[in-house]
Structure 1
Amino acid sequence: MLQNNLQLIKTTFEETIPMHKFLGLKIELLEKNFVRISVPFRKELVGDFRNNRWHGGVIATVMDSVGGVIGATHFTSLNDKIATIDLRVDYLRGAEPEAIMVEGKIIRFGNRILVARMKAFQNDKLIAEGKGVYNFIRMNTHSEEEADNNN
């Protein structure tokens, strides 16, 4: 079931969520507990018009989305839910007018709380890092192992 879920997650996050479509978000690599997403630069995303740099809020939005994507790799039902509790982003350098890559991985997964660490890069240079805490609500009683074994 996991492999089918990964394709469903990719399609949903790239093509169904309006914000992701607007940003041009593309999932480059998706595994359980890890995702790498690329976002192309567009002039509509500029926050520092003097230097033509990305708006920090866009980077934070992508990081938050990354946390949601990796949380979804644990879904056992289409009714499972994930919601952001807290998001922290540290901006380390200005983002130049070119694509960014954002990676995320789960660092803690409990009964109802998920913690993810995210990093944003341009040309392999770290531009921001963040941590997200998410409320994870499983809407069925099947474990992930049972869901994987059923398909």
Structure 2
Amino acid sequence: MASDDAFPSDKRQMIENIDRFMNDSVPHNRELGLSVVDVGPEEATLRLPYSEKLVGNPETGVLHGGAVTTLIDATCGIAVFMKLARLARIATLDLRIDYLHPATPGEELLARAECYKLTRAVAFVRALAHHGDPGNPVASAQGTFIIVED
């Protein structure tokens, strides 16, 4: 993880601002209850709380894959913003997700994404979703995002 030296002294306020931006600009994120846990110079961690309304199969209680996908996509997008260090229009070009095992019913899900490469027009991101142990991920992902300059 990179140093937080480049960030304002009030990191909590910055996280709250990013969280508000993420939920105001994408109402779907707000509806799912996504929240920003942490950010760094090229990374982000978001939380998806468990909710019965997000269950894909009522017999198992496992979260629907669409909710997990949204968590990963939003986390990757915030990581791109952190690497850019400015607001720009971005859009997901490609997002490949490998589901490694079902999410545990009743438990929140975390996702951490890192924007590891940035070109003039494309950002490259990798992510893991887990229940608190990155060594036992529920899903892993690779994504690319287009950066649209005005």
Q: TM-score range by the shorter chain?
A: 0.7 to 0.9
1:92 aligns with 2:103: no
Q: State the match for 2:141 in structure 1.
A: 130
Maintained 8 Å contact 1:35/1:66: yes
Amino acid at match of 1:127: V
Maintained 8 Å contact 1:114/1:136: yes
Counterpart Cα distance in 1 of 2:85 and 2:41: 10
TM-score (norm 2): 0.82
For structure 1, which runs of at least 5 residues remain unmatched after alignment? 140-151
1:65 aligns with 2:74: yes
- Deviation string for 1:107-145 (max 9, x for gaps)? 211111001001000141311000111001233xxxxxx
Maintained 8 Å contact 1:87/1:133: yes
Q: How many residues align?
A: 137
Higher relative contact order (CA 8 A, sep 6+): 1
Q: State the match for 1:43 in structure 2.
A: 52
For structure 2, which runs of at least 5 residues remain unmatched after alignment? 1-5
Q: State the match for 1:53 in structure 2.
A: 62
RMSD: 2.1
For the residue of structure 2 that corresponds to 1:60, the secondary structure is: helix
- Deviation string for 1:13-40 (max 9, x for gaps)? 1444311111111111011211111111
TM-score (norm 1): 0.82
Amino acid at match of 1:107: Y
Q: For 1:66-85, what aligned pairs fall within 5 Å after superposition?
A: 66-73=75-82, 74-76=84-86, 78=87, 80-85=88-93
For the residue of structure 2 that corresponds to 1:104, the secondary structure is: strand
Maintained 8 Å contact 1:14/1:27: no
Q: For 1:98-109, what aligned pairs fall within 5 Å after superposition?
A: 98-109=107-118
For the residue of structure 2 that corresponds to 1:126, the secondary structure is: coil
Change (3 A) 1:18 1:102: same
Maintained 8 Å contact 1:6/1:31: no
Counterpart Cα distance in 2 of 1:24 and 1:52: 18
Percent of paired sites with the same residue: 24
